[in-house]
């Protein structure tokens, strides 16, 4: 497996983030393609080629692009035509930069297939999965608000294995629903095309719908996510990284572990410690 870093986690801009990742010895980076400098509409063919060369000159690969447009993901039918089209453009950009994986949150998947939102989300994801199959990209749904088995059922129902997969974020599952991480890896298995290296704890049970609606709407009066979940440095939370990495090995995954640090007042220090943490674990897992 390779170690990646989410450039935006440095909170220092694209250039400084790339330089920091390279200096720390990361193998690659993930970059947001919905904000900042690396957006489809901001990079023509020449700009895309220049960025690809820049990454290569720094000894970095593009592990994935983040195609998360925020809000409620693909849970609202009226929003989906625009979101699907925008996501296809991100997939095109990813391929131009030498990478096939685009990750995003899609909203909370209902466990009941008869729920109206299930069909809305499934149709949008199928359109992106079919597009991914046609161009050689992979649209990777990030884990978190629902059990792994529910996400796996959606993927199986859609049936686009070459163009639709999973971005496995163990901290989301640990923090939001308290899921057993190795069991979740076992459930999603070959659908995993990219992962986030992140850790966290659940402080007390929380309704995933309420939590993700608060994120999507920019907050809900009287509700504070930090009362329920807490992201922590790698190795200090509920993920259990040795067991997590062993489960990924069993599943045949050999791609990126991309460090994502969304909180804390010293992200550079935390990311550097995370790279060291993973480097020390990976030889034992190899």
Number of domains in the chain: 1
pLDDT of residue 152: 98
pLDDT of residue 210: 94
State pLDDT tens for residues 260-280: 998 888 999 999 999 999 999
State pLDDT tens for residues 67-85: 999 999 999 999 999 999 9
Take residue 89 and report the two structure tokens written for it. 């453009």
Alpha carbon 137 to its chain's center: 15
Name the pLDDT band for 122 (thresholds 50, 70, 90). Answer: very high
State pLDDT tens for residues 188-226: 999 999 999 999 999 999 999 999 999 998 889 899 999
Kindly report the pTM of this predicted structure.
0.96
- On the question of pLDDT at 239 being above 90, the answer is yes
pLDDT of residue 281: 94
- Indicate which CATH number applies to the domain containing 40: 3.20.20.150
- On the question of pLDDT at 286 being above 80, the answer is no
- On the question of pLDDT at 285 being above 70, the answer is no
pLDDT, mean over the chain: 96
Take residue 124 and report the two structure tokens written for it. 């949008």
Name the pLDDT band for 284 (thresholds 50, 70, 90). Answer: low
Mean pLDDT for the stretch of residues 114-135: 98
CA–CA gap between residue 278 and residue 286 (Å, rounded): 12
Domain that holds residue 17: 2-285
Got the DSSP string for the chain?
-EEEEEGGGG-S-HHHHHHHHHHTT-SEEEEESSSSS--GGG--HHHHHHHHHHHHHTT-EEEEEE----TTTT--GGGHHHHHHHHHHHHHHHHHTT--EEEE---PPPSSTTSHHHHHHHHHHHHHHHHHHHHT-EEEEEP-SS-HHHHHHHHHHH--TTTEEEEE-HHHHHHHT---HHHHHHHHGGGEEEEEE-EEEESS---HHHHHHHHHTT-BTTB-GGGTEEEE-TTSSSS-HHHHHHHHHHTT--SEEEE---S-S-HHHHHHHHHHHHHHHHHHH-
pLDDT of residue 264: 84
Range from 14-18, 26-30, 65-69, 217-221 carrying the lowest mean pLDDT: 217-221
- On the question of pLDDT at 37 being above 60, the answer is yes
The number of C-alpha atoms within 13 Å of 9 and in the hemisphere containing its C-beta is: 26
Take residue 6 and report the two structure tokens written for it. 């989410």
pLDDT of residue 283: 77
In the chain the first and final C-alpha atoms are separated, in Å, by 8
More reliable by pLDDT, 96 or 285: 96
State pLDDT tens for residues 157-189: 999 999 999 999 999 999 999 999 999 999 999
- On the question of pLDDT at 255 being above 70, the answer is yes
Percent of the chain clearing pLDDT 90 (strictly above): 95
């Amino acid at each position: 497996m390779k170690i990646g870093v989410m450039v935006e986690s440095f909170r220092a801009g694209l250039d400084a983030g790339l330089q920091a990742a390279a200096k720390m010895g990361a193998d690659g980076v993930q970059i947001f393609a919905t904000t900042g400098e690396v957006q489809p509409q901001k990079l023509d063919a020449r700009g895309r080629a220049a960025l690809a060369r820049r990454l290569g000159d720094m000894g970095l690969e593009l592990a994935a692009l983040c195609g998360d447009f925020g809000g409620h993901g693909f849970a609202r039918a009226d929003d989906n035509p625009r979101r699907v089209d925008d996501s296809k453009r991100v997939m095109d950009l990813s391929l131009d930069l030498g990478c096939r994986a685009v990750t995003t949150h899609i909203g909370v998947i209902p466990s009941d297939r008869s729920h109206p939102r299930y069909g809305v989300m499934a149709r949008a994801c199928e359109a992106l999965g079919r597009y991914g199959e046609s161009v050689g990209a992979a649209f990777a749904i990030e884990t978190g608000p629902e059990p792994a088995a529910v996400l796996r059922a959606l993927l199986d129902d859609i049936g686009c294995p070459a163009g639709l997969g999973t971005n496995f974020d163990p901290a989301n599952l640990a923090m939001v629903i308290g899921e057993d991480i190795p069991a979740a890896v076992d459930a999603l298995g070959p659908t995993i095309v990219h992962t986030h290296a992140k850790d966290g704890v659940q402080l007390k049970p929380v309704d995933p719908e309420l939590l993700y609606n608060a994120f999507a709407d920019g907050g809900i009066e009287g509700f504070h996510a930090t009362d329920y979940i807490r992201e922590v440095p790698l190795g200090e939370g509920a993920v259990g990284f040795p067991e997590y990495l062993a489960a990924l090995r069993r599943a045949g995954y050999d791609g990126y572990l991309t460090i994502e640090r969304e909180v804390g007042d010293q992200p550079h220090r935390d990311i550097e410690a995370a790279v060291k943490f993973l480097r020390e674990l990976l030889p034992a897992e190899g």
